[in-house]
Amino acid sequence: EDGLARHSHVDDLRTRLQETSAADERFQLVEQYLLRCLEKKIMVPKGHPAVAYAVQMFEHSPAATPSIAKIADMANLSTERFIRVFKEEVGLTPKNYGSIVRFRLALRMIREERLNPSIDMALSSGYYDQSHLYREFHKYANMTPAELFRRQDILENHVPL
């Protein structure tokens, strides 16, 4: 959508929020608006196909994602050019994006499946080894996976500090 159409949707949302007094209804309006925005982004493929392929690989099979150099080569781009294009479209370098995806997957395994951190969990999350898992957990959560496993106050997409 162009800028003008986007502003009219925001104005419509603002008006609907002003007309609604209940907080839960307001949250629902905002959530529906954001989900519609997300659906439009997902349904309308934009940008370089190599970026879409890389994001799909990171999200769906982090343990089997080809190297950045391999993806760049498949797209007939230099590694540097692919990293630049990826960062322009996604906002992060492929390395940082992959790191966050791996962390989220491992966090979900600990939180939802109540898996005790192990080498198997590390490998299935896309980490090279258990120390790689522990380093990234310390980087993002400032605690080890085992400490996080023992915590009961873990919320999705939120790590208590």
The C-alpha atoms of residue 159 and residue 139 are separated, in whole angstroms, by 12
- Model confidence at 139: pLDDT above 80: yes
What whole-number distance in Å separates Cα of residue 90 and Cα of residue 99?
14
- Return the bridge partners of 158, or none: 155
What are the b/e assignments for 28-64, b being 16+ CB within 10 Å? eeeeebeeeeeeeeeeeeeebebbeebbebbeeebee
Structure-model confidence comparison of residues 79 and 113, the more confident one: 79
Residues 75-87 have a mean pLDDT of 93
The pLDDT tens digits of the residues spanning 86-137 come to 998 888 999 999 888 888 888 888 777 666 677 777 777 788 788 888 888 8
Amino acid at 111: R
User: Does the pTM exceed 0.75?
Assistant: no
| Cα–Cα separations (whole angstroms), residue 129 to 93, 98, 100, 123, 135 | 22, 15, 16, 6, 10
Average pLDDT value for residue range 18-38? 83
Residues 6+ apart with CB under 8 A from 20: 26, 29
**Rounded percentage of the chain residues whose pLDDT exceeds 70:** 81
pLDDT tier at 157 (50, 70, 90 boundaries)?
low
Mean pLDDT of 148-160: 62
23 pLDDT higher than 70: yes
Structural Rg of the chain based on CA atoms:
19
